[in-house]
Amino acid sequence: MQRLANKANVLKQFNATRAFSAPSTKYGSRLDEHGEPRFLEQVKLFYAAASEKTGISEEYLNLIKACKSVVRFNIPLRRDDGSLEVVTCYRAQHSTHKLPVKGGTRYSPHIDLQEVEALASLMTFKLAIADVPFGGAKGGVKIEPRNLS
């Protein structure tokens, strides 16, 4: 009976996620091309669902949820043929309550600011659960590494 109740709760949460149709933000649509919430919006939805069960005040939950800093910058890349290419990079530091911040760098032509911010948030939560004394961060470089020498 308990398993059936858990399955019903998961289904209810899934349907709530699918029904998510909030308006666009200044960083782009909250929905992807299939009408699903984008990665950052999914992280925020699951954070909201989990935070309801904590008993922590709303102001502290908002403080925990907020990303501390997000940076977008461009770097020049000199190719083997001598041409110059501009590569877009991102860095998100979700939590700096414990320093240093920890998180790797993702190299992908499909990376965007929202994905980097979502991964930084998840890194913060992972480190907190594992009791690792670092804040969460993530970097992204919009490039295909297989095409580089």
Catalytic one of 12, 65, 68, 138: 138
Strand-pairing partners, residue 26, are none
Active site residue 138: yes
Give the span between the Cα atoms of 75 and 84, in whole angstroms.
Answer: 10
List, as own/partner pairs, every contact residues 146-149 make where C-beta atoms lie below 8 angstroms and the sequence separation is at least 24, other chains included. Answer: 149/80
Burial of 64 (0-12, 13-18, 19+ CB in 10 A): middle
Q: Is 56 left (phi over 0), alpha (psi -120 to 50) or beta?
A: beta
Report the catalytic residues.
Answer: 138
